C-alpha cells in the first residue's frame, strides 16, 4: 500500500467516526424530543420497564450475591494480613456502592436487556413494522424508541442499588456466617465508612449515566441496523460491545470528576 | 399490546423495591439525615488535635451525642473545633473535652466529661449554650512524640538501672489507656 493510500484510509476512517458520532448525537436529540411529546406512552413504558427492569431482576440479584460473596472472601483474605478483618463491611460496602454495583449492573443489563432491545428494534425494521408505523403517521421514535430508552434509564439506578444491597448481603453471608466474623462490626464499619454525599449519591449518579448510555446506544444500534438477518445480529453484538466499553470508560471520568 | 394486570403488578413491585433499596442505602447505610439530633453548637480549642476529622464522634460516657462540625485554626495557632451535639444535652459550664483514640490505631473522637456544675447561675447550675466554649480541654496524644520521648529517655538513661525503664513504660501505658 502506498503512503498516500494509507493516509487516505486513515482520513476516511476518521471521517466515518466523526460522521457516526454526529449521527448518534442527532439521533439522541431526536429521541429526547420524541420522548417529550404528548401523548405520554404510559402503557408502552410499563411494558418496557417489565422487559428491561423486572426481567433483569433475577440475574442482577444472583450476580450481586455472588460478587459480594467473592468480595467477602478476598477482602477477608487481604484484611487478615493486616489484622483488620473487622473492617470487612467497609471494604465490601464501599467497593460495591462506589464502583462494582453500578458498573457490573450496567454490563449485565447491556448484555441482557440492551442486546434484546437493539435486536427487537432491528427486526422490527427488517420486517418493515417501523415503516408500517410511519404509514399510520406514528413516529417509531416516539412509539418504540422513547419508551424503551426511558425504561432503561429508569431501571438502571434501581437495579444497581439492588445489586449493591444483595452484594452487601452476600459479603455478610461469607464474612459473618461462613468465616465467623462479627455481625455487629460488619454492619457498624459499613455504616461508619459510607457517606451519603460522597458514596451513595455518586453510585446513583453512575447508575443513571450508565442507564442513559446503554439506552441510547441500544436504540441507536437498533434503528440504524441493516435490514437483514445479519444486520439484526450485528446490532445486538455491537450494542453489547459499545455499551460495555462506554460504561467502563465513562466510569473513569465520572469517578475523577465526582472528586473521589 | 398485551397489558395484563399481572405485568403492572410486577412493574409496581420492581419500582417499589428499587426505591426502597435506594432509601435504605441512603438513610440506614449512607447516614443521610434531615436535621437529626444535633442543634447545639459548642466550641472547644485544643493545642493538638492529631487526626481528628470532620464528622468524628462526640461522646459522653461512651454514648454518641453528636459529631465534629468543623475544624479551623484559631489566631493563637491552636485548633478550634466546633461540635454539633444534641440540643437536649445539659452540660455544666465546667465540663471538659478531650480527644481520645478508639483502639490502638483507630479513629479519633472527642469525649465530653460533664463537670460538677459548681458555677451557679440565677436559677441552678449554668449549662453550656449555643456558641459557648468549653474551658477545659485536653488535646490528642501523638504516639510518635511519645515514642520519641521514650527513646530519648532510654538513650539518656541507658547506664541507669531498670527503674527508669519501667518508669518510661509506665508513662506510656498510663497515657495510652486514657
Could you state, in order of their start, the residue ranges of all structural domains in chain A? 10-257
Using a CB-CB cut-off of 8 Å, the residues of chain B touching A50 are 7, 10-11, 14
Using a CB-CB cut-off of 8 Å, the residues of chain A touching B28 are 191
Confidence of residue A191 (pLDDT cuts 50, 70, 90): confident
Contact B1 A43 (CB under 8 A): yes
Evaluate if pTM is beyond 0.90. no
Contact A162 B8 (CB under 8 A): no
A–B CB contacts, 8 A cutoff, strictly below: 78
Report domain extents, chain B. Answer: 1-32, 39-140, 144-176
**How many other C-beta atoms are found inside a 10 Å radius of the C-beta of residue B52?**
20
Contact B31 A194 (CB under 8 A): yes
pLDDT value, residue B169? 46
Average pLDDT over residues B5-14: 87
pLDDT value, residue A116? 94
Q: Which of A45, A168, A158, A171 is nearest to A109 (CA)?
A: A158
pLDDT score of B6 more than 60: yes
pLDDT score of A185 more than 60: yes
pLDDT value, residue A164? 94
pLDDT value, residue B2? 52
Residue B19 C-alpha, separation from nearest chain A C-alpha, in angstroms: 7
pLDDT value, residue B163? 47
pLDDT score of B167 more than 80: no
What is the ipTM for the molecules in this complex? 0.78
More confident: B128 or A225: A225
Residue with cell 411529546: A37
More confident: A174 or B174: A174
Using a CB-CB cut-off of 8 Å, the residues of chain B touching A155 are 14, 18
Average pLDDT over residues B44-73: 85
pLDDT value, residue A173? 93
Contact B29 A200 (CB under 8 A): yes
pLDDT score of A109 more than 70: yes
Report in angstroms the alpha-carbon separations of A126 from A27, A62, A233, A235, B21: 19, 35, 12, 12, 40
Helix (H, G, I), strand (E, B) or coil at B37: coil
Contact A161 B7 (CB under 8 A): no
pLDDT value, residue A253? 92
Q: Which of B151, B154, B133, B134 is nearest to B143 (CA)?
A: B151
Partner-chain residue, chosen from A50, A162, A165, that has the shortest CB–CB distance to B7: A50
Tell me the average pLDDT of chain A. 91
Most confident of A35-39, A85-89, A110-114, B157-161: A110-114
**A168-181 pLDDT tens trace:** 999 999 998 998 88
Confidence of residue B174 (pLDDT cuts 50, 70, 90): very low
**B86-121 pLDDT tens trace:** 888 888 888 889 998 877 667 788 898 888 777 666
Partner-chain residue, chosen from B14, B25, B32, that has the shortest CB–CB distance to A54: B14
pLDDT value, residue B164? 45
**Residue A207, C-beta contacts closer than 8 angstroms, at least 6 positions apart:** A101, A102, A105, A106, A156, A157, A159, A160, A161
Give the 3-state secondary structure percentages of chain A, helix then strand then coil, rounded to 5: 90, 0, 10
Contact A54 B29 (CB under 8 A): no
Which of B30, B53, B54 to mutate to probe the A interface, most A CBs <10 Å? B30
Chain centroid to Cα A104, Å, comes to 8
pLDDT value, residue A260? 53
Using a CB-CB cut-off of 8 Å, the residues of chain A touching B25 are 97, 161, 164-165, 200, 203
Helix (H, G, I), strand (E, B) or coil at A17: helix
Using a CB-CB cut-off of 8 Å, the residues of chain B touching A93 are 29
Using a CB-CB cut-off of 8 Å, the residues of chain A touching B7 are 46-47, 50
Average pLDDT over residues B61-76: 86
**A194-233 pLDDT tens trace:** 888 788 889 999 999 999 999 999 999 999 999 999 999 9
Amino acid at each position: 500500500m502506498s503512503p498516500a493510500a494509507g493516509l487516505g484510509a486513515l482520513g476516511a476512517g476518521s471521517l466515518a467516526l466523526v460522521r457516526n458520532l454526529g449521527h448518534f448525537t442527532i439521533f439522541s436529540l431526536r429521541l429526547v424530543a420524541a420522548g417529550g411529546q404528548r401523548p405520554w406512552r404510559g402503557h408502552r413504558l410499563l411494558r418496557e420497564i417489565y422487559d428491561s427492569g423486572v426481567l433483569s431482576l433475577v440475574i442482577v440479584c444472583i450476580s450481586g450475591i455472588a460478587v459480594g460473596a467473592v468480595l467477602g472472601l478476598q477482602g477477608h483474605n487481604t484484611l487478615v494480613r493486616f489484622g483488620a478483618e473487622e473492617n470487612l463491611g467497609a471494604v465490601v460496602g464501599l467497593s460495591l456502592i462506589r464502583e462494582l454495583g453500578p458498573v457490573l449492573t450496567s454490563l449485565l443489563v447491556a448484555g441482557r436487556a440492551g442486546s434484546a432491545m437493539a435486536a427487537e428494534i432491528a427486526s422490527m425494521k427488517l420486517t418493515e413494522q417501523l415503516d408500517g408505523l410511519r404509514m399510520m403517521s406514528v413516529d417509531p421514535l416516539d412509539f418504540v424508541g422513547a419508551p424503551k430508552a426511558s425504561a432503561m434509564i429508569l431501571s438502571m439506578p434501581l437495579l444497581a442499588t439492588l445489586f449493591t444491597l444483595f452484594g452487601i448481603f452476600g459479603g455478610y453471608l461469607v464474612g459473618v456466617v461462613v468465616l465467623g466474623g462479627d455481625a455487629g462490626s460488619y454492619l457498624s464499619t459499613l455504616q461508619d465508612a459510607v457517606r451519603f454525599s460522597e458514596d451513595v449519591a455518586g453510585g446513583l449518579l453512575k447508575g443513571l449515566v450508565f442507564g442513559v448510555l446503554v439506552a441510547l446506544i441500544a436504540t441507536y444500534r437498533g434503528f440504524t441496523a441493516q435490514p437483514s438477518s445479519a444486520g439484526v445480529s450485528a446490532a445486538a453484538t455491537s450494542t453489547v460491545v459499545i455499551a460495555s466499553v462506554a460504561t467502563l470508560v465513562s466510569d473513569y471520568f465520572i469517578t475523577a470528576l465526582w472528586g473521589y | 399490546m398485551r397489558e395484563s394486570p399481572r405485568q403492572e403488578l410486577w412493574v409496581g413491585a420492581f419500582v417499589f423495591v428499587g426505591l426502597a433499596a435506594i432509601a435504605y442505602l441512603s438513610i440506614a447505610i449512607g447516614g443521610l439525615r434531615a436535621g437529626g439530633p444535633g442543634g447545639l453548637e459548642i466550641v472547644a480549642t485544643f493545642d493538638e488535635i492529631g487526626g481528628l476529622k470532620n464528622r468524628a464522634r462526640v461522646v459522653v460516657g461512651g454514648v454518641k451525642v453528636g459529631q465534629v462540625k468543623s475544624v479551623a485554626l484559631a489566631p493563637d495557632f491552636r485548633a478550634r473545633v466546633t461540635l454539633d451535639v444534641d440540643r437536649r444535652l445539659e452540660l455544666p459550664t465546667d465540663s471538659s473535652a478531650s480527644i481520645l483514640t478508639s483502639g490502638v490505631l483507630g479513629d479519633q473522637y472527642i469525649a465530653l466529661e460533664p463537670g460538677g456544675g459548681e458555677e451557679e447561675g440565677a436559677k441552678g447550675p449554668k449549662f453550656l449554650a449555643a456558641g459557648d466554649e468549653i474551658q477545659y480541654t485536653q488535646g490528642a496524644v501523638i504516639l510518635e512524640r511519645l515514642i520519641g520521648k521514650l527513646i530519648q529517655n532510654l538513650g539518656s538513661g541507658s547506664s541507669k538501672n531498670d527503674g527508669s525503664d519501667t518508669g518510661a513504660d509506665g508513662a506510656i501505658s498510663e497515657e495510652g489507656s486514657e
